[in-house]
Amino acid sequence: MSRAGHRHRDVAIISFAQLPPVARDAARDEAELVQPVVNQALAEAGLTRKDIGFTVSGSCDYLIGRPFSFVSALDGVAPWPPIAESHVEMDGAWALYEAWVRLQQGDVDTALVYAYGKSSLGDLPAILTTQLDPYYLAPLGIDGISLAALQARALLDSGRASERDLAAVAAARRGGDAAALLGAAYTVAPLRAHDCPTVADGACAVVLAAGDVARRSARKAWIRGIDHRVEPHQLGSRDLTCSPSTTTAAEHAGVASLGAIDVAELHAPFSHQELILRDALGLGASVSINPSGGALVANAMMVAGLARIGSAAARIHDGTARTAVAHATSGPCLQQNLVCALAAEVSP
């Protein structure tokens, strides 16, 4: 049920598969990254390609510098005879959103969503600069880590977090001792290497189902609501210390109606962003945050957001959680945010 009272068609995540993220996977091309996760997700869902009504992917051609690499990746899905297919040049979480919207039409009951990213071929900071405002930001050549560092400083200045708090997030995700981490040199002050994501090559896939297919499925994490919101692209027009778009998306996704939240998978590539997101979602100490390790530990570009949703769903599938919140982000300094509310029980 949405906030407006409009009844959505119930859709469940019925399987999730991902490659173990690695720093560099030179041997596999994009189709070979996609094929194993698609095959595994379909097998776990008990479906074949012929059973899938809609296929959609998220990726970014700039990562490997090859136009239409997302078309090459389709080889990994075996799209023959011709399939109904779509693509977003974004994290796969937004592809999942498109699939969820597609399933609302009611004429198909299943959707395959996948994402892949191969950052090891290019210069990721320079590639991320090309997504910025081409008039005022891109000509300065500011990179993603520098932008995150500006946000981190703003958060520190607000008094709501300290460098020790950032190190505590890093220690919780990566292991190690927060106090010892503070001895490391700055990468771009106030961020140290442990505050910045470990960039990876990877891929993941999710199968969504509605109607009888969902009800018959052995595993289901019901999407109780999903929404995404964007903030102004001009950094100086934003309060970088909070994430109002995450809060709004959570309201519209019906996170409040979940009751107690067992697990939250937050797409926070930088340690301070996890703190901002916890605040934005009002997550208390009882919530298990990023049990998967999160994007700080393995940031496969275009994959990490969808992997948060898949990882949260997997906790519901294995029975270790009844409710979960998954979050994905896109753009500099948490510019755009998606929130997905998941539960073991279908909407009341």
Q: Which stretch binds another protein (CB under 8 A): 182-190, 218-226, 254-262, 297-305?
A: 182-190
DSSP reduced 3-state for 113: strand
- Contacts with another protein by CB under 8 A: the residue count is 59
The answer to whether 327 and 265 have CB atoms below 8 angstroms apart is yes
Out of 38, 207, 283, 296, point to the residue binding another protein (CB under 8 A): 38
CA distance 59 to 93: 10
Provide, rounded to whole angstroms, the least separation between the CB of residue 192 and another protein. Answer: 12
- For the beta carbon of residue 140, count every other beta carbon within 10 angstroms: 11
Q: How far, rounded to the nearest angstrom, does the alpha carbon of residue 321 sit from its chain's CA centroid? A: 19
Out of 43, 164, 186, 256, point to the residue binding another protein (CB under 8 A): 186
Out of 1, 26, 84, 193, point to the residue binding another protein (CB under 8 A): 26
- Please, which of residues 104-163 interact with another protein by CB under 8 A? 121-123, 125-127, 129-130, 134-143, 146, 149-154, 157
- For the beta carbon of residue 46, count every other beta carbon within 10 angstroms: 15
Cβ proximity to another protein, 112 vs 210, nearer residue: 112
Provide, rounded to whole angstroms, the least separation between the CB of residue 49 and another protein. Answer: 6
Q: Is 32 in the site for another protein (CB under 8 A)?
A: yes
* Half-sphere exposure in the Cβ direction for 270 (13 Å, CA): 27
CA distance 15 to 114: 12
Q: What angle do CA 118, 228, 10 make, to 5 degrees?
A: 100
Cβ proximity to another protein, 24 vs 164, nearer residue: 24
User: What's the residue count for the chain?
Assistant: 348
Q: Is 331 in the site for another protein (CB under 8 A)?
A: no
Helix (H) or strand (E) holding 300: strand 299-300
Q: What angle do CA 151, 155, 161 make, to 5 degrees?
A: 140
Q: From 75, 186, 199, 176, select the one nearest 127 (Cα to Cα).
A: 199
Task: Compute the CA torsion angle 313, 289, 19, 296 (nearest 10 deg).
Answer: 150
Provide, rounded to whole angstroms, the least separation between the CB of residue 190 and another protein. Answer: 7
The alpha carbon dihedral of 201, 327, 108, 322 has a sign of: positive
Provide, rounded to whole angstroms, the least separation between the CB of residue 298 and another protein. Answer: 20
Provide the mask over 188-227, with x wherever binding to another protein is found by CB under 8 A and - wherever it is not: xxxx------------------------------------
Cβ proximity to another protein, 5 vs 134, nearer residue: 134
Q: Which stretch binds another protein (CB under 8 A): 14-22, 70-78, 284-292, 301-309?
A: 70-78
DSSP reduced 3-state for 209: strand
Look up residue 185 and give its DSSP letter: P
CA distance 303 to 298: 10
Provide, rounded to whole angstroms, the least separation between the CB of residue 264 and another protein. Answer: 27
Q: Which stretch binds another protein (CB under 8 A): 1-9, 75-83, 164-172, 218-226?
A: 75-83
Cβ proximity to another protein, 92 vs 144, nearer residue: 144
The answer to whether 308 and 328 have CB atoms below 8 angstroms apart is yes
Provide, rounded to whole angstroms, the least separation between the CB of residue 204 and another protein. Answer: 16
Cβ proximity to another protein, 31 vs 346, nearer residue: 31
Out of 34, 52, 289, 342, point to the residue binding another protein (CB under 8 A): 34
DSSP reduced 3-state for 299: strand
Cβ proximity to another protein, 76 vs 294, nearer residue: 76
Cβ proximity to another protein, 86 vs 234, nearer residue: 234
- Please, which of residues 221-260 interact with another protein by CB under 8 A? 232, 234-237, 240
Q: Are strands 288-289 and 263-265 parallel, antiparallel or unpaired?
A: parallel
Task: Catalog residues that contact another protein under the rule CB under 8 A.
Answer: 26-29, 31-32, 34-35, 38-39, 49, 62, 64-66, 74-80, 121-123, 125-127, 129-130, 134-143, 146, 149-154, 157, 186, 188-191, 232, 234-237, 240
